[in-house]
Structure 1
Amino acid sequence: MDAHGGRRSQAERDAVTVEIGYALVSAAFAAAVLFGAVAGPALLFDLPHLLSTVLFRLGLVVAPLVFMARVISVLLRFRWQVRPGRPGPGS
């Protein structure tokens, strides 16, 4: 938004849209990789039942946490980069 409280330009709206898409895609990738690293051995190998269950459930708990942390960190970083008085994306 400009300094007088006006509407955002099309370029600013496009930058926000791209940043949200990037945040979601990179978060999904990070969560999938982490889930695969934690729960993968439980799915690929014949581990004891208790260990297999713990690894799988740990993956199910940690992956969404990583997803949310990634989305929040990307969007907050973008927000701080576009503060008034500082050059934004494409400047």
Structure 2
Amino acid sequence: MEAYGGRRGQAERDAITVEIGYALCSAAFAAVVLFGAVAGPALIFALPDTMEQVSLRAGLVLAAVLFAVRVVSVLVRFRQTSQPSQPGRTRPDS
């Protein structure tokens, strides 16, 4: 982005779009894996009703929290990385 609130170029908009897509896909994958690990035994094996309900609810809550944390952490990390405006140039005065 240009200094002092200038408009974003197409490359910057594309980079943001790709990063958002990566954040959502990686968060969804991590949430599904966590849900499977926590609630999977309740879905596969015959457990007591109380244990099954606790396992399913815990899996849903933990998966939702992990999804949100993953999306936020990826997007915050992307925002904090300083990217050069031109390839091969790493300093503003170069």
TM-score (norm 2): 0.86
Cross-structure match for 2:26: 26
Alignment deviations for residues 27-76 of structure 1 (CA, whole Å, 9 cap, x no partner): 00000000000000000001111111110110011111000000000000
4+ residue runs over 6 A deviation = none
**What is the rounded CA distance, in whole Å, between the counterparts of 1:55 and 1:66 in structure 2?**
16
1:58 and 2:55 matched? no
Aligned letter for 2:69?
A: A
Counting only pairs closer than 5 Å after superposition, residues 1-91 of structure 1 correspond to structure 2 as: 1-82=1-82, 86-87=83-84
> Displacement, 1:6?
1.5
Which protein shows a greater Rg?
2
CA RMSD of aligned residues (A): 1.5
Identify unmatched segments of 5+ residues in structure 1. none
Aligned letter for 2:47?
A: L
- SS of the equivalent of 1:20 reads helix
TM-score (norm 1): 0.88
Identity of aligned residues (%): 64
Identify unmatched segments of 5+ residues in structure 2. 89-94
Q: Which moved more, 1:5-14 or 1:35-44?
A: 5-14
